[in-house]
Amino acid sequence: MKKLFILFFLLLSTAVKSQTLLIPDKVFDGETLFTNWIVIVNGNRIDYAGPFDKNAVKSVKDTILLKGMTLLPGIIEGHSHLLLHPYNETSWNDQVLKESPAERAIRATVHARRSLWAGITTMRDLGAEGAGYTDVYLKKTIDEGIIPGPRLLVAGPAIVATGAYGPKGFHDGVIVPLGAETVSGPEQAIQTVRRQIGNGSDFIKVYADYRWRTGEAAQPTFLQNELEVMVATAQSTGRYVVAHASTPEGMRRAVLAGVETIEHGDSGTLKEFNLMKEKGVAFCPTLAAGEAVEQYGGWLKGKEPVPERILQKKASFEQALQSGVEIIFGGDVGVFSHGENYREMDLMVEYGMTPLAVLKAATSINARVFHLDQLGHIKKGFLADIIAVSGNPTEDIKQLRVVHFVMKDGKVYKNE
């Protein structure tokens, strides 16, 4: 019956309609895996997603057979830096100090294309790291169709406490570009948030803790009232705040201030994760960045003992899972190669999540947490951001390593 149905649609594929019929083996709609489903796209929207014999559309313009593949919503990357490239190529300090914003913007156009080809149709970029508002302009060029790339949510310059960010190591007579914008005190914090939003930031990123001096352990940076006024200022404009926080106290202050996501959480304990769950704050663990940095330092994974930093990260992730806090997908890509976002998914499974839970985190959960109410699902009326991979990714997350089909906003960018 299904073969006859497919033949029927192929015969009608010359009709002058705008619909595109996608025929895979399976469909993961952002929540559940289905077989014997088809998806019909009309313009940039999903017109139908469901059983092939229940569809009311009788003619299509194009038919795309995706034999042996699973369709799923485009992946939403929750923590990226398109203006950075791997630190084993060029150190973070040298990227900030020696690569001009023009060079970094050119690199970012390549990174954006690689990301889209890897099935990343939306990215939350968490700071230009010394390149000002280049991420805002990158988003503009993608939106205008000048370059291909994912939909972007951008932070512009992150906000840090005065004295708490780098590059460092210069005497006090040297003025160097910083990787973020510094503030001190509630009044300056309010002014900075307002200015950044006016300059195009979609949300605000703050550093709730960091290393005050090179080689020291991270410590809290902002006072509680400084964090609170930044959150209140952002919320008054309809935006939100996310926090880099790796220490228990930094996490606690940021959560109580009202941020929407905690990034990293390397030393988080069950206490902090329980508080996050209570307050509705999501957790972005960025597992892949931690492993990448250790490997840049010489660690041979699988051949040498696991470094203490990774053991701590695994322990904190286990505590997060135990707490039931909402976990989102975001690998801090840029620390490692753009287009290899799957590395975070692999590690989320390795550290204790099921493939199905990871897929939800990378699609429907990220969409909800990031206020993207037309993305993250394959569902009638939603934007047509759709990808396809071989096999069944709800059972084997490694299928996401190779993406064969990419559609963004109804336009096919890749079909292999």
In this model, does residue 12 exceed pLDDT 70? no
pLDDT over 70, % of the chain: 95
**What is the mean predicted confidence (pLDDT) over 355-377?**
98
The rounded Cα 160 to chain-centroid distance in angstroms is 21
What is the per-residue pLDDT for 58? 65
Q: Is the pLDDT reported for residue 7 higher than 60?
A: no
Interacting residues of 155 by C-beta distance below 8 A, sequence separation 6+: 125, 126, 127, 128, 135, 201, 202, 203, 204, 205, 242
Residue-wise pLDDT tens digits, 165-221: 989 888 888 888 899 999 999 999 999 999 999 999 999 999 999 999 888 899 999
Beta bridge partners of 160: 182
Low-confidence winner among 44-58, 217-231, 283-297, 355-369 (lowest mean pLDDT): 44-58
Measured distance between the N- and C-terminal CA atoms of the chain, rounded to whole angstroms: 27
Cα 256 to Cα 235: distance, rounded to the nearest angstrom: 15
User: Given pLDDT bands bounded at 50, 70 and 90, which one contains residue 30?
Assistant: very high
The residue with greater pLDDT, 363 or 1, is 363
Q: Which residues of 265-280 are buried (b: 16+ CB within 10 A; e: fewer)?
A: bbbbbeebbbbbbeee
Interacting residues of 125 by C-beta distance below 8 A, sequence separation 6+? 80, 81, 82, 83, 135, 139, 152, 153, 154, 155
Answer whether 79's CB lies under 8 Å from 408's CB: no
Query: Which amino acid would we find at residue 79?
Result: H
DSSP secondary-structure letter at 201? -
Q: Domain ranges in the chain?
A: 2-74+376-415, 75-369
Determine the pLDDT at residue 53. 83
Average pLDDT over every residue of 44-68: 88
User: Mean pLDDT over residues 281-293, rounded?
Assistant: 97
pLDDT at 13 over 90: no
* pLDDT tens, residue by residue, 118-163: 999 999 999 999 999 999 999 999 999 999 999 999 999 999 999 9
State what percent of residues in the chain have pLDDT above 90: 89
Q: Which spans in 99-185 are helix H?
A: 101-117, 134-143
Q: How far apart are CA 106 and CA 109, in angstroms?
A: 5
Amino acid 54: pLDDT: 82
* Residues 286, 335: Cα–Cα separation, whole Å: 10
Contact (CB, 8 A) for 54 and 307? no
Per-residue pLDDT, 174 = 87
Of 285, 286, 307, nearest to 297 (Cα)? 307
Q: 335 by DSSP, 3-state: which?
A: coil
Mean pLDDT over each residue of the chain, to the nearest integer: 94
Triad 188, 192, 197: Cα angle to 5°: 155
For residue 172, what pLDDT is reported? 86
Cis status, amide bond into 186, omega within 30 of 0: no
pLDDT digits (tens, 9 = 90+) for 43-55: 999 999 999 888 7
> The domain 75-369 is classified under which CATH number: 3.30.300.30, 3.10.200.10, 3.20.20.140, 3.40.50.300?
3.20.20.140
Q: Which residue has the tokens 């990226």?
A: 80
- How many angstroms separate the CA atoms of 114 and 294, rounded? 24
Residue found by looking up tokens 């200022």 in the block: 233
For the entire predicted model, the pTM comes to 0.94
Most confident of 6-10, 59-63, 251-255: 251-255
CATH 3.20.20.70: does it fit domain 2-74+376-415?
Answer: no
**Secondary element (H or E) of residue 154:** strand 151-154
pLDDT in tens, 375-413: 999 999 999 999 999 999 999 999 999 999 999 999 999
Phi then psi dihedrals of residue 161, to 5 deg: -75, 145
Model confidence pLDDT, tens digit, residues 314-360? 999 999 999 999 999 999 999 999 999 999 999 999 999 999 999 99
Beta bridge partners of 282: 261
Residue 354 has a pLDDT of: 98
